[in-house]
């Protein structure tokens, strides 16, 4: 089963990227520099818009959707026009000009918005960020004064606590929320994932290792696949043979 998906800015519903995929491809966040910058600076989400039995049909619809959105001034994070599985070859001068003109980060409005929302430049935003981190939270019916308090009590990184709060459950499937918010609905699924070593510390699954580091499981999988550090940690499958590349 194949599908076409689109990333969009939640506040404006502007579609920034369209792609074709299968499995969990639509959840991957590391794409091109403009895409990565956009989802870092804006609150974005992704949705699957249509499923296909044949890959060729998915490619054709991807191209059609990108053409349609580009004619409306959207889909700015797609460097090419789709239909080629992400291989766009050598950039033409036209592609470079389009990328420069349509770069949303260059507009005065976006620059002003980024400056206003930057806690390094705006004391009000800095205060709100500080208050957010001090909000009481509840993990598995236990109340903690803040993310830092929970981090120290549970001996996990604060970023791990943030991931738990965002998805609504901890690494064991226990409910997790801010004390002043309703508990999110979630469907916790235990998996038979491979055991993973993080700096020689053994975890029963990729998910457990991700909770320890404070990242998404996909990030660890990509790091292992590319033989690279994950947020400064060396990750490998427990039964992985030694690799002599990228030392």
Reading the chain (247 residues) residue by residue, the pLDDT tens digits are: 799 999 999 988 899 999 998 888 888 888 888 898 898 889 899 999 999 988 888 888 998 999 888 888 898 898 776 555 544 444 556 656 666 666 666 667 666 766 666 656 667 766 666 666 678 999 999 999 988 888 888 888 888 888 888 888 887 888 999 998 999 888 776 655 688 999 988 988 888 888 888 888 888 888 888 888 988 899 999 887 654 444 3
Q: How far apart are CA 240 and CA 72, in angstroms?
A: 48
**Structure-token pair, residue 203:** 């975890």
Nearest by Cα to 198 from 171, 173, 167, 223:
223
Q: How far apart are CA 4 and CA 65, in angstroms?
A: 9
In the three-class reduction of DSSP (H, G, I as helix; E, B as strand; rest coil), residue 228 is classed as coil
pLDDT at 87: 43
pLDDT at 141: 92
Nearest by Cα to 211 from 198, 225, 200, 228:
198
Q: Look up the pTM and report it.
A: 0.37
Q: How far apart are CA 147 and CA 133, in angstroms?
A: 6
pLDDT at 17: 93
Write down the H helix ranges in the chain. Answer: 33-41, 55-70, 93-101, 108-116, 123-133, 147-154, 158-167, 206-213, 217-225
pLDDT at 101: 65
92 exposure class (CB count in 10 Å sphere: 0-12, 13-18, 19+): exposed
pLDDT at 79: 79
pLDDT at 120: 65
Q: Domains in the chain, ordered, with CATH? A: 2-108 (3.40.1440), 134-178 (no CATH), 196-237 (no CATH)
Q: How far apart are CA 226 and CA 247, in angstroms?
A: 11
pLDDT at 247: 39
């Amino acid at each position: 089963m194949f599908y076409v998906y689109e990333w969009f800015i939640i506040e404006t519903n502007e579609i920034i990227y369209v792609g074709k995929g299968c499995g969990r491809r639509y959840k991957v966040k590391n794409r091109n520099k403009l895409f990565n910058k956009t989802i870092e600076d804006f609150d974005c989400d992704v949705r699957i818009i249509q499923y296909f039995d044949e890959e060729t049909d998915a490619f054709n619809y991807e191209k059609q959707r990108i053409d349609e959105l580009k004619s409306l001034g959207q889909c700015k994070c797609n460097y090419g026009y789709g239909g080629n599985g992400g291989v766009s070859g050598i950039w033409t001068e036209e592609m470079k000009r389009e990328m420069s003109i349509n770069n949303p980060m260059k507009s005065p409005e976006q620059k002003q918005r980024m400056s206003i929302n930057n806690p390094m430049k705006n004391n009000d935003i800095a205060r709100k960020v500080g208050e957010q981190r001090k909000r009481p939270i509840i993990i598995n019916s236990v109340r903690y004064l803040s993310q830092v308090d929970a981090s120290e009590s549970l001996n996990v990184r604060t970023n791990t606590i943030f991931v738990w709060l965002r998805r609504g459950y901890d690494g064991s499937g226990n409910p997790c929320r801010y004390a002043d918010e309703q508990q999110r609905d979630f469907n916790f699924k235990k998996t038979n994932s491979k055991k993973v070593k993080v700096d020689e510390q053994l975890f029963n699954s990729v998910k457990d290792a991700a909770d320890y580091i404070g990242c998404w499981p996909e990030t660890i999988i990509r790091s292992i696949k590319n033989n690279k550090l994950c947020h400064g940690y060396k990750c490998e499958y427990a039964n992985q043979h030694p690799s002599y590349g990228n030392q």
